[in-house]
């Protein structure tokens, strides 16, 4: 996320993620997953963040969160990643050997409505998409897996919109390539996720820049 976090987007939803440096496997066993969950729980007591959904993957993680203040996202992520990296290095005997994460986290606003449904589906379908499980809810290190097993790894807040009643069916259904591409492009380019007009309107408030696609024709 850019460093210029100046304004408030009260009640906004965000997709937040970070990835290990050099494809390092962050979560080698259950102890690594449990340790990250513990750091997450501590972070949620310190910062005003509401978790809608999440998924931990072997070398990265995703959160969909609600937050009243944009700057709180940055403070939360600095504490979470810094604390986890320090503890991870200590647990693996690697203190002083370099960074754990590849760089700054990515956090982009999500438009309430269909876009939020698609992003939550993208997050909770990740392990299934990668072939790690046969059904999305079988992945234990996710909001969907925790819900299925009735174990609340991370406290979740109510969606700001009604969650579809057939949510399991939706998450386990095949990806729609155009929808998947849109989410991935927005995450990669740090663009708000939503309709084009909403993206352009929200980007300045979130300190994000949306560069126009293609080149302008030269004047003759």
Q: Is beta strand 50-57 parallel, antiparallel or unpaired with respect to 12-19?
A: unpaired
Copy the structure tokens of residue 121. Answer: 């589906």
Q: Which of 176, 194, 178 is nearest to 186 (CA)?
A: 194
CB count in 10 Å sphere of residue 33: 18
Q: Which of 29, 49, 30 is nearest to 41 (CA)?
A: 49
Domain boundaries, given as residue ranges, for the chain: 12-202
Chain Cα centroid distance, residue 123: 7
Copy the structure tokens of residue 151. Answer: 């174990």
Look at residue 7 in the predicted model and tell me its pLDDT. Answer: 52
Could you please report the per-residue DSSP string of 172-191? Answer: HSPP-HHHHHHHHHHHHHT-
Copy the structure tokens of residue 8. Answer: 């408030």
Look at residue 217 in the predicted model and tell me its pLDDT. Answer: 43
Measured CA to CA in angstroms, residue 147 lies from 53, 55, 130, 191 at distances of 10, 12, 20, 30
Quote the CA–CA distance of 138 and 160 in Å, as a whole number: 25
Residues with pLDDT less than 70, the chain: 1-10, 95-97, 211-220
What does the pLDDT look like over 79-108, one tens digit per residue? 999 999 999 999 988 765 678 998 789 999
At residue 108, φ and ψ (nearest 5 deg) are -130, 140
Quote the CA–CA distance of 54 and 48 in Å, as a whole number: 16
Look at residue 212 in the predicted model and tell me its pLDDT. Answer: 56
pTM for the full predicted model: 0.88
Q: Determine which helix (DSSP H) or strand (DSSP E) holds 14, and give its type and residue range.
A: strand 12-19
How is residue 23 annotated by DSSP?
Answer: G
As a CATH number, domain 12-202 is 3.30.70.1290
Look at residue 214 in the predicted model and tell me its pLDDT. Answer: 47
As separate numbers, helices (DSSP H) first and strands (DSSP E) second, the chain gives 8, 4
Look at residue 64 in the predicted model and tell me its pLDDT. Answer: 98
- Residue whose tokens read 């937040």: 16
């Amino acid at each position: 996320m850019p460093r210029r976090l100046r304004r408030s987007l009260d009640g906004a939803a965000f997709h937040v993620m970070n990835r290990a440096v050099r494809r390092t496997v962050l979560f080698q066993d259950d102890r690594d997953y449990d340790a990250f969950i513990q750091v997450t729980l501590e972070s949620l007591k310190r910062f005003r963040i509401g978790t809608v959904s999440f998924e931990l993957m072997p070398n990265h993680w995703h959160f969909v969160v609600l937050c009243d203040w944009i700057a709180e996202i940055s403070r939360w992520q600095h504490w979470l990643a810094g604390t986890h990296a320090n503890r991870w290095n200590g647990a693996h005997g690697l203190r002083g050997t370099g960074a754990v994460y590849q760089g700054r986290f990515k956090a982009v606003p999500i438009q309430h409505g269909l876009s939020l449904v698609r992003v939550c589906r993208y997050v909770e379908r990740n392990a299934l998409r990668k072939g790690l499980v046969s059904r999305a809810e079988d992945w234990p290190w996710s909001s969907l897996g925790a819900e299925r097993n009735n174990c609340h790894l991370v406290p979740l807040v109510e969606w700001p919109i009604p969650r579809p009643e057939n949510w399991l069916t939706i998450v386990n259904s095949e990806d729609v390539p155009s929808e998947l591409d849109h989410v991935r492009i927005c995450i990669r380019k740090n663009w708000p996720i939503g309709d084009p007009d909403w993206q352009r309107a929200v980007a300045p408030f979130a300190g994000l820049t949306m560069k126009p696609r293609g080149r302008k024709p030269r004047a003759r």
